Structure 1
Amino acid sequence: MRCMVIIKATRESEAGVMPSEQLLAAMGKFNEELVKAGVMLAGEGLQPSAKGVRVQFSGSSRMVVDGPFAETKELIAGFWLWQVKSMDEAIAWVRRCPNPFEGDSEIEIRPVFEPEDFGEEFTPELREQEERLRAQIAARS
């Protein structure tokens, strides 16, 4: 199963406080372990929400809202995309992860939808389109 592992933002990460050299080295080592194990598909840190925007949808209208966003506990500071056998395996990897911040922090694990999760609504034509798009993305890498 694929899962997204979400590193929740903190006041410090939202303020632009950069990780220490020690933490960067520890995360680098952890990422190497993930890659060697064939778990890590992607992973990145994100800039503070002050540098981002949200696009709000209401019917056919769109409204752009500039950051920063107030609810730090709902913001994301970084993510990984992992391929694991089970949620238990993902949890085991997160338990080995260095604490992403100096103080308290939180990491959320969410399964990624797979084609079979969508049922009959995901027609053979839509599946073919999805596969074609994934192949195009892979070819660019």
Structure 2
Amino acid sequence: MRVMVLVKATPDSEAGGMPDPAMMAAMGRFNEELAKAGILLTGDGLKPSSAGKRVAFDGADRTVIDGPFAATSELVAGFWLWQVKDMEEAIAWVRRCPNPMPGPSEVEIRPLYEPADFGED
């Protein structure tokens, strides 16, 4: 089963400062563990939403919206794509993760659709 592991943004990540070197080192060690275990498919950090754009769709119309975006708690600051046997394994790995932010933070785990989810058609 593949899961997308989303590191939710915080006011600190949206401020755009570089992460603490000790936290980066701890995260690097965690990523090495994921890779050695065959879990890590890819992952990366994202720049703050002030560097981003959104494209809103309404029928044939497209509207480009410049960042930054409101509702920091609904934004993503980074991600991993993991291959795990089940959701319990993903949770176990996230519990081992260093806190990705200087203060309180959240990590969301979302399963990806697999071909079997769509049936035989």
Do the structures match in fold with TM over 0.5?
yes
The corresponding residue for 1:34 is 34
Amino acid at match of 2:81: L
1:109 counterpart residue number: 109
Structure 2-normalised TM-score? 0.97
Runs of at least 4 residues of structure 1 off by over 6 A?
none
**CA–CA separation in structure 2 for the residues paired with 1:44 and 1:52:** 15
Secondary structure of 1:99's counterpart equals coil
- Structure 2: distance between partners of 1:17 and 1:112: 31
The structure with the larger Rg is 1
Specify every segment of 5 or more residues in structure 2 that has no aligned partner in the other structure, as ranges.
none
Does residue 1:70 correspond to 2:70, yes or no? Answer: yes
- TM-score when normalising by structure 1: 0.84
| SS class of match (1:117) | helix
Structure 2 Cα separation of the partners of residues 52 and 119 of structure 1: 36
Opposite residue 14 of structure 1, the aligned amino acid is E
Structure with the bigger percentage of helix: 1
Q: Which residue of 1 aligns with 2:11?
A: 11
Where does structure 1 lack aligned partners over 5 or more consecutive residues? 124-141
1:1-141 mapped onto 2 (5 Å cutoff)? 1-120=1-120, 123=121
- Partners in 2 of 1:86 and 1:10 — Cα distance? 28
By how many angstroms is 1:17 displaced?
A: 2.1
- The CA RMSD measured in Å over matched residues stands at 0.8
Give the superposition deviation at 1:60. 1.1
**2:4–2:112 contact (8 Å) kept in structure 1:** yes
- Identity among equivalent positions (%) equals 67
Query: What is the CA-CA distance between 1:112 and the residue it aligns to?
Result: 0.5
